[in-house]
Structure 1
Amino acid sequence: MSEHLIEQVWTALGGDPAELPRLTTSGPAHTLAGRFPVTAFGTATIGAALLAATLDDGRAGRGRPVGIDTRQVAVALRSQRYLRREGVSPGNPFDPLSAFHPTADGWLRLHANYPWHAAAARRVLHLSADAGLEEVRAAIAGWPKVALESALHEAGGVAAATRTEEEWTATEAGRTARALPLVDRRLLGEAAPRPARRARVLDLTRVIAGPVATRFLAAHGADVLRIDPPHRPELPAQAWDTLPGKRSAIAELPVEDLLAGADVVVTGYRPGALDRFGLAPEELAARHPGLVVVTLSAWGHTGPWARRRGFDSLVQSACGIGETERTSPDGPPGTLPAQVLDHATGYLGAAGALLALAAQRRGGGTHHVRLALAGTAAFLQTLPRTEPAAEEVDPAPYLEELGPFTIASPPGTVDGRPLHWPSPAEYGGARPAWLP
């Protein structure tokens, strides 16, 4: 299935089929255990990103040879679990409240890793600001799952009721998500081709999908500058895992001077969330013709849930993956063996950015690449199911020492050689300006 799946993914990105023979895959068929073909899908998305990163413009199929081993795929898609700082693990990345909770009529997945989301949940549940896990669980148990899902969303919280795949498809949000393409690329306007140079990537993303996309671009030579607002600090472990190779600055939006010098801008917020800063894709196209705009969201750019907050774990809960991965009828829903919706969407976003950048330099235009975790989930759910078993992977060959960190290396090989991060993670230490 792997070769056919790689072809499917590459075609969805708009890639030239003549490039496919440059990619070699190796390793066991299953290195991540679950009922969905996570190993094959992760391999396909990383492979596509490697192909896009090594194009030889003007000579289809003549780019550099690339490879990916499924054992490294298993490490790359779970990079945070292998992170160490001075030999010490940062611990479980999930807050205790970020879990499946039983409700009056089923289950609900809550996300509370960021303190402002946890505060919103406690407000909706009429709990004190310091209420613990047991109090939160007891309060959730009295709510119908969909009613609580809606109440939390309206209050600025983040949660998703657990549905079966059939229940999800029966909702308008589910039908919209199922209709999303894996990758959507469109032209926002006319623009002259820009000259080739080291790509400048403005990174306005958080959590995993967007940062994985820009981390991959940094590993392949882009100058990636990530901007975080001063009033919304990033979780330390998340920053350590996703900032290697980038420069990180703290600054308020808008960042017009940075946009003027950028080749690519990547945003990872729900549609419309950044519009007040002049960052709507159409506005960017009008002010900065020739820019490549990549937008990643949880639920997509259309439909009743387009403006809802969301994360990988919540999409799994809502779209039926949690129920499909359930291991016990009496226990909580299950999860994928990796946050593959995030990681796969990230690699697809990087591939889409690189292909759009190449197209812009050849023929001009202002290109917009759209992806959504719900669209990635919908694609994954169309693939043949697998047995929940996998071969054990030794992560050591795919880890590297980088400053005080032990971290998963960039996935894949180019010209037969493994990849490495060009610099360690340093949160907020850079000046918000482009390198000369």
Structure 2
Amino acid sequence: MTDTDRPSSGSRPGPRLAAAWSSLGGDPDLLARVTTVERSGALPARLPVRETARACVGACALAAAELGARRAGPARRGHHPGPGVPAVRVDDGAVAAAFVSERHLLVDGRAPVSFAPLSRFWRTADGWVRTHANYPHHRARLLAALGTPDDPEAVAAVLAGRPAAEVEETVYAAGGLAVALRTPAAWAAHAQAAAVARRPLVERGRLDSAPARVLAPVDRDPLLPAAGLRVLDLTRVVAGPVATRTLALLGADVLRLDPPGLPELPDQHTDTGFGKRSALLDLPAGRDTFEELLAAADVVVTGYRPGALDRLGLGAEALAERRPGVVVAQLSAWGAYGPWAGRRGFDSLVQAATGIAVSEGSAGRPGVLPAQALDHGTGYLLAAAVLRALTEQAEEGGSRFVRLALARTAAWLLEGTAPTRAPGDDRTAAAPGPASASASASAPGADVSAGGSADDRFAETDSALGRLRYARSPVSFTDGPRDWARPPGPWGTDPARWNADPAR
């Protein structure tokens, strides 16, 4: 172990982990259970990406260890000194590998393609705009809004003659996805940024006076804090599925539900589908089936736009009324408040709007983080919030809600950074080419998962999808699980029902 890899003292956690744990309502004394292995080559960036990623994973692992200690059977309780909470270890190498898990995934030796040709930064008449067109319906709406054929050169020509703000509004009005590049200062002056800034990193609340949750002891090896709990997963893309993938690692029976007419990207589903089952259900037509699932669910995780599920009676209050004692975890891109609350969004777009892309840019060009860190970081925080809510329920009762937003995580990442000017209006600069199309491209030559043994960070397994090579979860605590109990299966092919034995 080199000097830069030496573990830091567990009794003196970094300020970002302390802030995340505080936002989750955790006992600050438990931070002494955390040790870290810091690796300076992991997730290189101008912004504190490595520290933020470490904090998100550390908070999640500590929340899992805390719940595990509560559920540990008598034979286990003497294993852990001090407050009885298992020791947590956060390794920057494992964290970095997991934060770019989509890049490490191999399916029968094939590497997935993460971003489509029209998902990138483009030059406009007065700056830059970021588009997202990975899904066919988003690509079609973008092209319809711009009036161009499906050709990057044609799109570039149209965008070069239009102001970025106009493109943003025109594409949004057509149901597509485009965001004008902003500096941190410009975003701070935006009404949506002001709405986000008024909220905590993790919003938490009690919905009713349901009785305290009774958690059965868990004596299994490994210790699975979420064993026997049922999680309805109504999320898509990355952040929400990362959260539910983590809950599955910890023993939960996770059932992901998707509408039949809204297909998922196969490789994206594979990367985030470990430990879970996947079923198709049309909520309006299959309402009786959904209500049966809800009646036996312990947790419901949603990742659709605020209001979209409310119209179907699936808001936090409505769910708790029908299923007292449930934990409702809500995730959005821009937040459940403010003028952009109803807008679609992805990690790459939030990076562009909030000033992150400017902060990471150079030579008149916008830049990107070394990972989709808003997605992954928010995903681990969301899982942590669910685990902490379950612990609080066991102590105080009550249905609970937790709420996070990519834009709020972005604000946290930017805290304490100096305002940065927008990339210059150098009209001779060409639009970024394919190498910069990804929202998570690394610096040249940087090892985003530096440190740690490959045997520790990666694993292989056979599955119905083929032979998979994948990044292990970075969530690690004494006696905890090292891997998922099952590989992902094909999207939407499982029955929409719970396992007969919820502990399996």
Fold similarity call, TM over 0.5: yes
Aligned: 1:321 with 2:332: no
CA offsets 1:108-159 (integer angstroms, 9 cap, x no match): 000000111111101111124xx21111111222221111111211211112
CA distance in 2, matches of 1:333, 1:232: 31
The 5-angstrom pairing of residues 244-259 of structure 1 reads 244-253=274-283, 254=287, 255-259=290-294
State how many pairs are aligned: 429
The 5-angstrom pairing of residues 368-383 of structure 1 reads 368-383=401-416
The 5-angstrom pairing of residues 343-422 of structure 1 reads 343-383=376-416, 393=450, 396-397=454-455, 398-403=457-462, 404-415=467-478, 419-422=482-485
CA offsets 1:40-64 (integer angstroms, 9 cap, x no match): 1101110110111121239993121
Q: Report the 3-state secondary structure (helix = DSSP H, G, I; strand = E; otherwise coil) of the residue aligned with 1:177.
A: helix
CA distance in 2, matches of 1:272, 1:417: 37
What is the CA distance between 1:27 and its match in structure 2?
3.1
CA distance in 2, matches of 1:416, 1:34: 33
What is the CA distance between 1:413 and its match in structure 2?
2.6
Q: 5+ unaligned residues in a row in structure 2: which ranges?
A: 1-11, 72-76, 217-227, 419-442
Over 3 Å counting, the alpha-carbon distance change for 1:418 and 1:37 in structure 2 is farther
Match of 2:265 among 227, 235, 240: 235
CA offsets 1:13-33 (integer angstroms, 9 cap, x no match): 111112212221113144111
The CA RMSD measured in Å over matched residues stands at 1.9
Query: Residue 344 of structure 1 aligns to which amino acid in structure 2?
Result: G
Contact conserved, 2:334 with 2:343, CA < 8 A, in 1?
yes
Query: TM-score, normalized by length of structure 1?
Result: 0.94
Counterpart of 2:185 in structure 1 is 166
**Range with bigger deviation, 150-159 or 348-357:** 150-159
CA offsets 1:171-192 (integer angstroms, 9 cap, x no match): 1112222333210001122211
Match of 2:302 among 263, 267, 280: 267
The 5-angstrom pairing of residues 38-117 of structure 1 reads 38-55=49-66, 56-57=69-70, 61-90=83-112, 92-117=113-138
Over 3 Å counting, the alpha-carbon distance change for 1:7 and 1:249 in structure 2 is same
CA distance in 1, matches of 2:196, 2:16: 20
Match of 1:4 among 15, 20, 29: 15
Contact conserved, 2:473 with 2:483, CA < 8 A, in 1?
yes
Match of 2:167 among 144, 148, 157: 148
Counterpart of 1:434 in structure 2 is 498
CA distance in 2, matches of 1:390, 1:383: 25
CA distance in 2, matches of 1:122, 1:49: 40
Match of 1:190 among 209, 214, 218: 209
Aligned: 1:296 with 2:318: no
CA distance in 2, matches of 1:57, 1:390: 41
CA offsets 1:201-250 (integer angstroms, 9 cap, x no match): 10000011000000000001111100111111110110010000011111
What is the CA distance between 1:4 and its match in structure 2?
2.2
What is the CA distance between 1:399 and its match in structure 2?
0.7
Contact conserved, 1:227 with 1:248, CA < 8 A, in 2?
yes
Q: 5+ unaligned residues in a row in structure 1: which ranges?
A: none
CA distance in 2, matches of 1:333, 1:151: 22
CA distance in 1, matches of 2:498, 2:212: 21
Q: Report the 3-state secondary structure (helix = DSSP H, G, I; strand = E; otherwise coil) of the residue aligned with 1:407.
A: strand
CA distance in 2, matches of 1:295, 1:356: 13
Aligned: 1:215 with 2:245: yes
CA distance in 2, matches of 1:110, 1:76: 25
Contact conserved, 1:95 with 1:112, CA < 8 A, in 2?
yes
Contact conserved, 1:77 with 1:340, CA < 8 A, in 2?
yes
**Range with bigger deviation, 54-63 or 297-306:** 54-63
Contact conserved, 1:104 with 1:142, CA < 8 A, in 2?
yes
Contact conserved, 2:132 with 2:138, CA < 8 A, in 1?
yes
Over 3 Å counting, the alpha-carbon distance change for 1:34 and 1:2 in structure 2 is farther
Over 3 Å counting, the alpha-carbon distance change for 1:2 and 1:140 in structure 2 is farther
Counterpart of 1:37 in structure 2 is 48
Over 3 Å counting, the alpha-carbon distance change for 1:115 and 1:301 in structure 2 is same
Match of 1:312 among 329, 347, 352: 347
CA distance in 2, matches of 1:176, 1:276: 23
What is the CA distance between 1:2 and its match in structure 2?
5.6
Match of 1:180 among 199, 206, 219: 199
Counterpart of 2:429 in structure 1 is none
Q: Report the 3-state secondary structure (helix = DSSP H, G, I; strand = E; otherwise coil) of the residue aligned with 1:343.
A: helix
Q: Report the 3-state secondary structure (helix = DSSP H, G, I; strand = E; otherwise coil) of the residue aligned with 2:388.
A: helix
Q: Percent identity?
A: 48
Query: Residue 124 of structure 2 aligns to which amino acid in structure 1?
Result: T
Over 3 Å counting, the alpha-carbon distance change for 1:30 and 1:17 in structure 2 is farther
What is the CA distance between 1:429 and its match in structure 2?
2.4
Query: Residue 22 of structure 2 aligns to which amino acid in structure 1?
Result: T
CA distance in 2, matches of 1:141, 1:4: 43
CA offsets 1:348-372 (integer angstroms, 9 cap, x no match): 0000001101111222111110100
**Range with bigger deviation, 174-183 or 112-121:** 174-183
Over 3 Å counting, the alpha-carbon distance change for 1:416 and 1:367 in structure 2 is closer
